[in-house]
Structure 1
C-alpha cells in the first residue's frame, strides 16, 4: 500500500485542500493511504487557530484523509524552516513513502536547482551581505536569488516546499517529495474577484470570518443569524460542505461567547507585557528565538506600547518581521525555552483515524511494540499514541524509572545526550499542557484526551 503524507494547517479547510486530496488519489490511485501532519490550536503565523485541532481533524477524515497527527505545539508556532522540518520528520517517522505539497512552481527540478544553489559559498556570501544590511531573512533570500534570476521563486508555498525538500535531503529521509501545483489562489491574498468560483486562500477566508466576528461579537442570542448567513455566502462557495458546517458552528460559539481574535490578542499582550517588564532579563533571554538585540526591542516596545498593534509597530525592524514578533509573543506566553528545542521526535500524538488508519495503527503496534512503555529503549521505538494520558504516562515512566540519571551513566557522552533528551521531553509535555490551559482560558474549550474515530467510510 502506497502511503502519502501531507503537511497542512487547514485554517480553515477549503476547496484547495480538498482538490489536493482528490488529486493525490487521481495520480496515485484511489486506494492510497493518506496521512496529514498539521498544527493544532496554535498556528505557524504565531496566532490562535480559527479551527481548533478537533474541527480540523473531523473535516480531514470526512474529506478522505485516513490518519491525522498533530505537529507538537512547540514546533508548530516556529518559523517555516522548523515547522516544515519537524512536520516532514514526523511523516517519515510514521512511515510515509511520499510527501505531497502544493507550490507555485510545479517543476520540482527548478526547486532542486535553488536548493543546490543555496549550498554554494557565493550564494551564502550574497545572502549574508543582504542580512548584514539589516534585511530580514526572507527579503535577503529574495534579493540574493534575484542575482541569479530566481527571485520569482520566493513565494510562500515555494519556500515551504524548499524547506521540505531540504530536510528530506539533509536528514537522508526515506520519504520522497512530490508537487501538486497550487491552483489559482495566492497564499496571502486578502481579496478575490467576484468571478472567482471555486478557490480562495485561507488568508482571505480568515479575514472574512474575522470581519464577521468583529461585527457581531457578543450577540448572545444570535439575533443577527440571518445577517451572518448572508455574509457567509461570500465564502461558502470556496469551502466543502462539512467545512462550512463547522465554520458556522464555530462562528456561532465565538459570537455567543464574545470571542474575538483581536480581543484575544489584546489579552495575550497584557500577559506577555507583564512578563517582559517584571521578569529578570536572564529569564526572558531563556525563551526560544530571543537574543540581546531582540530582548532590547521587545522590552522597549512593551514599555511604550498600550496595545498589541502598537507593540508590533514599535518592535518590528528590517530584520524583525511582525510574524516573527508574534511567534516570540507565543513563545513567551507558553514559556518555550531555547534549551528544550532539541528537534527530537519524542512522541507522535494521533488526533483521528478512519478504518484504514485504524488498520495501519494496528500494523505499527505489531511491528514496533506500539505504546510499549515498559521497553528498555523507549526513545528508540516509534512512540505513537492515540490518547494524551498515555503520553503523560510515558513521560512519568522515564521520570521514575529512567536509567540515565545516575552519575556513573551520565559520565558517558551518549548518556549525557539521552539524559538531556529525557529532560527536554518533560518540558515539552508542560508546554503542551500550557496550550491546553490557554485554550480553555481564551476559547472556553477543554482539551479532549481521545482521538476522533471516523468509521463511516
Structure 2
C-alpha cells in the first residue's frame, strides 16, 4: 500500500501548483499547462513557484525574475510566487522541498504538476517511498564506498529496494526532480497530489531541436552563440515579446560570462577556510576548487579542471555561485518565512484573496512590508537584495544595473 494518502475532496475547479524556472519559458512548458487542464479541467487555476534571478544549476537566469514572471502569467499561469534564493540555488532535494513547502503553505493547491521523461507518477512515488525507507542510507553508503558518482550509487541502492526498472528512471533529469517532489510531499504528509505529464520534444539538456519543442538549454545555447533570430523564432510569441522588451532596456540576455571577472576576483580573494564553508558534504571538494581558483582564467576552465567522475558539474557551479553571492549552506534558513508575490492576473488575485484566509505563511506583496515580519524574513529579503544587485552587474548595459531594485519593484499585476 502506498504511503501517499490521497484524500482530497473532488471539486469542480482544481488548483495546480508548478515549480518552475522558465529559463526561458518555451513550448514544452505551454504543453504541460495544456495537458494538466486536459486532465483536471479547463478551469484549472495555476500557482507557479519560480526561482528568482539565479537558478538551481548554479547559474544566472537569462531574464530577470519579474520579466519571467510576466511571461508566465501572460502564458496561462495565474499566480507566481518566488522560490527564495537559498532554495533556488540548492540541490534538487532542497529545491523541491522549498517549492513543495510554498505550495503547501498557500492552502489552495490541490495538485503538483510537473513534466517527466517517464510520465508515470506511480513509479516516481515508489522511488520516493524507497528514498524515505530506513534501510536506504546504509545501502547508499555502501554503494558510495565503491567510489562511483552519487547518482550512480543512489540508483544501485534504490534497485535493491524497488526494481532495476524503477531505479533506472533516475537516469533522466526530470524524473529525478519528480521523485524529489514526491519525496517532499511524502515528508510533509501533504494532501497535494502529484500529477506528471510525459515530456515531449527536445530532451532537457538537448542542444539539437527534436520535434517542435525546443529545450531551454537549446534556446540559451543559440542566444549565447549569437543565433538570436533563430532563438526568438523558437520562443512562444509572449516570451519573445518579453525578451525583446528586456533586450531593448539593456537587461537581456544575462549570462554568467558577463560577470566572470567579478566572480574570479571574488574566488581569488577567498581563503581556503572560506572555501571550506561552501562544502556542505564535507568531502574535501573545496580543496580542489580552492587550488584551481588560484590560476583559472575563466569559470568554464575552473569547472572543467575541478570536475571529477564523483562530483557533478552542477554541484561545483553552485559552490562558485554561493561564493560570488556570499552564501554559506550552513546558514541557509530551515523554512521559508513568507510567500512573495512576483506576478498575478485577475484569477491570481482571487487566489490571493483566498490565501489571506488560509495560508500558512505571511503573504508579501510590497517589499517594504518585510520590515513588519520576523527577523529571519528580513535577513532573507536583504540577502535577495544583495544577490539582485550582483545579478544586475551581468546586464549587457551596465547603465541599466541600478542597485536596490528589490526595494522598488513590486509584483507584475495583469488583468
Q: Bin the TM-score by the shorter chain.
A: 0.7 to 0.9
1:129 to 142, 147, 169: 142
Hey, what's the Cα distance between the residues in 2 that align with 1:209 and 1:145?
Answer: 39
Could you say which residue in structure 2 is the equivalent of 1:9? 21
Sort the Cα spacing of 1:339 and 1:426 in 2 relative to 1 into closer, same or farther, 3 A.
farther
Q: Distance in 2 between matches of 1:314 and 1:132?
A: 23
Alpha carbons of structure 1 residues 66 and 288: separation in structure 2 relative to 1, 3 Å: farther
Deviation of residue 120 (structure 1)?
4.8
Match of 1:215 in 2: none
CA distance change for structure 1 residues 325 and 254 in 2, over 3 Å: closer, same or farther? farther
Candidates 391, 405, 415, aligned match of 1:439:
391
Gapped regions of structure 2 (runs ≥ 5): 1-12
Mapped partners of 1:30, 1:162: distance in 2: 27
- 3-state secondary structure, aligned to 1:304: coil
Q: What TM-score comes out, normalization by structure 1 length?
A: 0.79
Q: In structure 1, how many angstroms separate the alpha carbons of the residues matched to 2:367 and 2:199?
A: 35
Which residue number in structure 1 is paired with residue 6 of structure 2?
A: none
Change (3 A) 1:266 1:140: farther
Residues 123 and 427 (structure 1), Cα distance of their counterparts in 2 relative to 1, 3 Å cut: same
Picking from 161, 181, 202, the partner of 1:185 is 202
Match of residue 380, structure 2, among 428, 431, 439? 428
User: SS in structure 2 opposite 1:441?
Assistant: helix
Determine the C-alpha separation between the residues in 1 that align with 2:63 and 2:303. Answer: 24
* Structure number, greater radius of gyration: 1
Q: Which has the higher contact order (CA 8 A, sep 6+)?
A: 2
Question: Residue in 2 aligned with 1:312?
Answer: 303
Q: How big is the alpha-carbon RMSD for the aligned residues of Structure 1 and Structure 2?
A: 2.5
Report the Cα distance in structure 1 between the residues aligned to 2:253 and 2:23, rounded to whole angstroms.
Answer: 20
Shift of 1:382: 2.2
Count of residues paired in the alignment? 390
CA drift at 1:431: 1.6
Deviation per residue, 1:117-146 (Å, 9 max, x gap): 334566544432332233332232234456
For residues 22-421 of structure 1, what are the structure 2 equivalents within 5 Å? 22-95=34-107, 96-120=109-133, 124-145=137-158, 148-150=163-165, 151-154=167-170, 155-192=172-209, 196=211, 198-212=212-226, 231-252=227-248, 261-274=256-269, 276-277=270-271, 281=273, 283-287=274-278, 289=280, 291=282, 293-365=284-356, 367=357, 382-391=361-370, 393-395=371-373, 398=374
Q: Secondary structure at the match of 1:439?
A: helix
Aligned to 2:284, the other structure's residue is in SS state helix
Q: Are the counterparts in 1 of residues 62 and 254 from structure 2 also a CA contact under 8 Å?
A: no
Paired position in structure 1 for 2:7: none
Query: What is the rounded CA distance, in whole Å, between the counterparts of 1:52 and 1:153 in structure 2?
Result: 33
| CA deviation profile, 1:256-303 (whole Å, cap 9, x unmatched) | x996542423432222222x24xx71x444446263612322221122
Provide TM-score, normalisation by structure 2.
0.86
Give the SS at the match of 2:341: strand
Unaligned runs of 5+ in 1: 213-230, 371-380, 399-421
Q: Secondary structure at the match of 2:214?
A: coil
Q: Could you say which residue in structure 2 is the equivalent of 1:410? A: none
Match of 2:9 in 1: none
